[in-house]
Copies of this chain bind each other. A is one copy, B any other.
Amino acid sequence: MAAPVSNDVEVAEFAGQLFFRLWRASHTRTAEALDSIGLTPARFALLNVLGARDGAIQQQLSADMGIDPSAMVKLIDELETAGLAERRRRPNDRRAWEVTITPEGRRAIERARRCVMQVEDEVLGGLGAADRHQLLTLLRRALESAPPQPPWRTEEGD
């Protein structure tokens, strides 16, 4: 068994590489933590979007998350099977399905958020509270001004 890889910053000098390594560290741990409550990073990401965009149709959801509509189908299937979300026909347009979050889905969000915040504590643990807040602020500002993405593939939520 090989020794764990060190997070060598010296060779990861570009922002993109830093983003990737931090995302990877966060993603792995998040996947492990969410697994205990039957979620995946992608499912949690969708639940999170539903928490703010409840009742949106699938097209809007896939656009919001930046994933392919066909990937959204599978994701919603998973949530529906788990009883965390439901489809219902949009009254005025029977082509579209509005996706709503169930009460159990809301409870799952709360549990999942605690998991994810704990992971975030681990990943960003080396930073003090002020630095951490500053980092989050800068990340959000950078993202706001970053060039928009093409209508995209599958998102790995966290």
Binding site for B on A (CB under 8 A): 1-30, 41, 45, 48-49, 52-53, 63-66, 116-117, 119-120, 122-127, 131, 134-136, 138-152, 155-158
Contacts and interface: CB of A to CB of B under 8 A. Distances in A.
A40 to B, nearest CB: 13
B16 A23 contact: yes
**Interface residues of A: mostly helix, strand, loop or mixed?**
helix
A64 to B, nearest CB: 6
Q: How many copies does the complex hold?
A: 2
B2 A63 contact: yes
A5 B122 contact: no
A104 B142 CA distance: 35
A1 to B, nearest CB: 8
Contacts of A143: 7, 9, 12, 18, 21-22, 25
